[in-house]
Amino acid sequence: MPAPAKTRVLVVDDSAIVRKVLSDILNSQPDLDVVGTAPDPFVARDKILSLAPDVLTLDIEMPRMDGLTFLDKLMVHHPLPVIVISSLTQSSTGKAMEALSRGAVDVLAKPGGPYSVGDLREDLPRRIRAAARSRPARPHPQAPAAAPPVKLQAGSIPPKRIVAIGASTGGTQAIEKVLKSLSGDVPPIVITQHIPDGPKVCYKRPSVDVLFHSVAQAAGSCASAALLTGMGSDGAEGMLAMLRAGARTVAQDEDSSVVFGMPREAIRLGAAQVVAPLDRVAAALFDAAR
């Protein structure tokens, strides 16, 4: 039986040292293969066409063209899973959110401060594997139209009702779509989205489980929860706690998820009452509020 094909990775960064560090980390894994590196987007463009990588790692600050501009062009002409790895994502949450909104499936910080090379060595290979299984996120200008807004009548929501939403890879656009589909009188909404940085809880920064457990304890049956696209299992146990406390729970389905990790685990645990495509998540959340 032939060996499974390795995930092919192209590393794009203007620093030769960073390219070597990333390449060494990835090539140490038996299922990953750095097929090439590029110092800027123009070289990267040619290597994407000639090497056909499965996943791209991309810096933001580079000569000749910045990474975000290149990301825009890539998502239009040759979409593939992109993980942004940049020091700017650690110093600026806005840059991380912008990269995700433009189509990156994940964001990682370069080592520095509390985030070490050891942390990157632990995080990067599994992020690459998850990205290889993902669908490239579509940038906002080409995002599909949202479902008709959920109409909520004034007074239909108990004063203490609260909605909790958790997401990771692909989550920024998913969360935006859910929020844009709401109209009228909506309850308070609290959100956990994995982006750098913060204290690690359950290996995530921040943790959906922490949010869901706190909402279960504080609001009980007056709460609703949605667990959206993301890799790993964060949020599944917290959603189960919310269900046991009487909350309504919804998991995004596989077809509409960029990475079907967190929702899959919630479904496996029996924590999700409803499994819905992204454009029906809002309606499923608020069925109990009507």
Active site residues: 168, 194, 234
Which pair of structure tokens corresponds to residue 173? 């656009």
Q: State in Å, rounded, how far the first CA of the chain is from the last one.
A: 56
- Using a 10 angstrom Cβ sphere, with 0-12 exposed, 13-18 middle and 19 or more buried, the burial of residue 285 is buried
Burial of 110 (0-12, 13-18, 19+ CB in 10 A): buried
Q: Taking a C-beta distance cutoff of 8 angstroms, is the pair 175, 165 a contact?
A: yes
The rounded distance, in Å, linking the Cα atoms of 162 and 167 is 17
Q: What is the CA radius of gyration of the chain?
A: 20
Cα 88 versus chain centre, distance: 18
30 torsion bin: left (phi>0), alpha (psi -120 to 50), beta (else): alpha
Task: Report the DSSP pairing between strands 150-152 and 106-109.
Answer: unpaired
Token couple for 270: 């029996």
Size of the chain in residues: 290
Rounded to 5 degrees, what are φ and ψ at 202? 60, 30
Nearest by Cα to 278 from 146, 124, 164, 96:
146
> What Cα–Cα distance (Å) separates residue 26 from each residue in 98, 115, 145?
26, 18, 37
